[in-house]
Amino acid sequence: MNLSSGFIALFAFSLLTAGCTSSVSTSSNSQPNSDTAIIHGKKSLSSDPIAQATVSVNTGSGKCTGVLLSDRVVLTAAHCFDFEPVELSRAKITILSGDKTQECISAAVSEVSYEPSAVVVGGVHQPDLALLKLTSA
């Protein structure tokens, strides 16, 4: 296992074990500050929900993580949807956000889009990127 896949596995495990509760305390050191939170190419306040979001992608047959790009778009790895056909009705997104407490929001996936220039190598899109459009936010 290389370093990046080990980091992803550790991050996914911690995300799965965190659960969705309304009063989970977080360390102030773990939150982005105004120097590191960037939204739409501009510095943003760390209190912005998008800057604080952690996204778990449940494909129905496995779990991945993602990044919330807007209130209805998530960036994730294409391989999360490449190895097995995913019924979009089973794909769900869980978003954890909040600076001192965590709020859990669930949304359904309505569409999966791949990089237009992507090629499939060994059953996996290259580059390994997918955008998920959410039915609700």
Condensed to tens digits (0 to 9), the pLDDT of residues 105-125 reads 788 888 888 888 888 888 778
Domain that holds residue 97: 45-137
> Between these two residues, 86 and 78, which has the higher pLDDT value?
78
Structural domain includes residue 9: no
pLDDT digits (tens, 9 = 90+) for 4-35: 443 443 333 333 334 443 333 333 344 444 44
Give the list of residues 6+ apart from residue 69 with CB closer than 8 angstroms, or none. Answer: 75, 131
pTM of the model: 0.56
- Look-up: residue for tokens 């510095």? 43
Residue 86 is predicted with a pLDDT of 65
CA–CA dist 132, 111 (Å, integer): 6
Q: Do 75 and 66 form a contact (C-beta atoms < 8 A)? A: yes
CATH number at residue 95: 2.40.10.10
Cis-peptide, bond into residue 127, ω within 30° of zero: yes
Split into its structural domains, the chain has a count of: 1
Average pLDDT, the chain: 66
Q: One-letter amino acid identity for 30?
A: S
